Amino acid sequence: MSAPTVLHVAGARPNFPKAAPVIRALDQRGIRQRLVHTGQHYDERMSEVFFRQLHLPEPDVNLGVGSGSHASQTAAVMAGLDRLVSVERPALTVVYGDVNSALAAALVAAKLSIPVAHVEAGLRSFDRAMPEEINRIVVDHVADLLFATSPDAAVHLGNEGIPADKVHLVGNPMIDTLLANLDRFDNAAVRAALALPERYLVATLHRPGNVDDAADAVDLVKVLHTVADQIPVVMPLHPRGRRHLEDAGLLTHRALRVVEPLGYLEFVSLVRGAAAVVTDSGGVQEETTMLGVPCLTLRPNTERPITVTHGTNRLVTRSNLTEVVAETIARDRPPTWRTPPLWDGHAGQRIADVLASHLG
């Protein structure tokens, strides 16, 4: 009989920094692994650059599903994985975060009676208008091993009736990647490459709630321009938001610089030196919390409240963003700040310990 295999399924930008430390820690334990890239994200800057910079192994398979409606994208991942998982029969399937690729993979594995491990389990925004919230709930309820990044996430799983022995509070593998790369972040180099002054603000926006509606985009662009009146803004723009935001006049302010999505090292280098960040990204709320950079999250809720209670995060609206930016950039960054428990760079090792003991 061949050695048991752990199958990782990743496919979208936020999956890659989460998978890297888990794959590395399992590798150190000599565990056989396979990596499937679903192809949900496919542009070089949304995918390949992360493999290169984070030393991820080349995927064994790329399903090449590409973009589409939620149903068609999820279905394409399911159909591709169904064949592969039925033949390979891995001992465990590991899925990451709350993207459609994770939902599809968890459903396929669960229906083939293959145990599912969910990295980043239990996060809840309690907002079912977010596609990710549906994905989180479904994945958590079919998973066998649930890895929580924060105590509140473990509490949510308990409240939903998930037995405590399935839940492991392990810390945050995204933060493992951040801490492992601290020496590689070069703010001066990225500022020089983008011709940025010393003080600037970073903005990233891609949530459907912010960028999918053309009329809303007009309002959003007006507000971003009032921010750029106060401080130069650099905006590595996700492909999702591009058309609506540009049609709404995003590019017409001289102090607002739109650039292509950046590689991981360049992006975190940029964030690290920013006076503040305006975002709707999940990962960026966490990274700013660790780096002590003020984060203004343009959303009505967050599934990561620990970044507010322990970190630098604050929820903002279009109505108060301009004023909050003014307040934030007028203040010095606090010299010390709290970070969430177990966000210490060792989450991947803890996850690998649990997976290895599950494999026996």
Pick the piece of the chain touching ligand UD1 (CB under 6 A) from 34-42, 165-173, 177-185, 345-353.
34-42
Q: Is 55 labeled as catalytic in the residue annotation?
A: no
Place of tokens 């960028």: 211
The DSSP code sequence of 8-22 is EEE-STTHHHHHHHH
Structure tokens at 256: 């607002």
Q: Residue 131 binds which entry of ligand UDP, ligand UD1, none, with Cβ cut-offs from 5 to 8 Å by kind?
A: ligand UD1
Q: Does 42 bind ligand UD1 (CB under 6 A)?
A: yes
Give the nearest distance from C-beta 30 to ligand UD1 in angstroms.
32
- The partner residues of 298 in beta bridges, in order of sequence, read 316
Residue 354 near residue 147 (C-beta atoms within 8 A): yes
Give the nearest distance from C-beta 111 to ligand UDP in angstroms.
26
Residue 255 near residue 223 (C-beta atoms within 8 A): no
Among 12, 217, 224, 347, binds ligand UD1 (CB under 6 A): 12
Q: How far apart are CA 101 and CA 106, in angstroms?
A: 9
Phi, psi dihedrals of residue 9, rounded to the nearest 5°: -120, 120
Q: What is the DSSP letter of 122?
A: T
- Stretch 82-121: interaction string toward ligand UD1, x if CB under 6 A: ----------------xxx---------------------
Give the nearer residue to ligand UDP in terms of CB position, either 92 or 313: 313
Length of the chain measured in residues: 360
- Stretch 281-320: interaction string toward ligand UD1, x if CB under 6 A: ----------------------------------------
Residues that bind ligand UDP (CB under 6 A): 13-14, 17, 204, 236, 261-262, 264, 267-268, 281-284, 287
E strand or H helix at 94: strand 92-96
Give me the residue whose beta carbon is nearest to ligand UDP. 283
Q: How far apart are CA 209 and CA 192, in angstroms?
A: 33
**# binding residues, ligand UD1 (CB under 6 A):** 19
Among 4, 115, 239, 292, binds ligand UD1 (CB under 6 A): 239
Q: Does 13 bind ligand UD1 (CB under 6 A)?
A: yes
Q: How far is the CA of 342 from the CAs of 24, 163, 325, 349, 360, in angstroms?
A: 19, 22, 30, 12, 25
Give the nearest distance from C-beta 184 to ligand UD1 in angstroms.
22
Residue 334 near residue 300 (C-beta atoms within 8 A): no
Task: Give me the amino acid identity at 51.
Answer: F
Q: Active-site residue among 8, 206, 244, 253?
A: 206
Q: Does 43 bind ligand UD1 (CB under 6 A)?
A: yes
Active site residues: 206
Q: Would you tell me which residues interact with ligand UD1 (CB under 6 A)?
A: 12-14, 40-43, 46, 67, 73, 98-100, 131-132, 206, 238-240
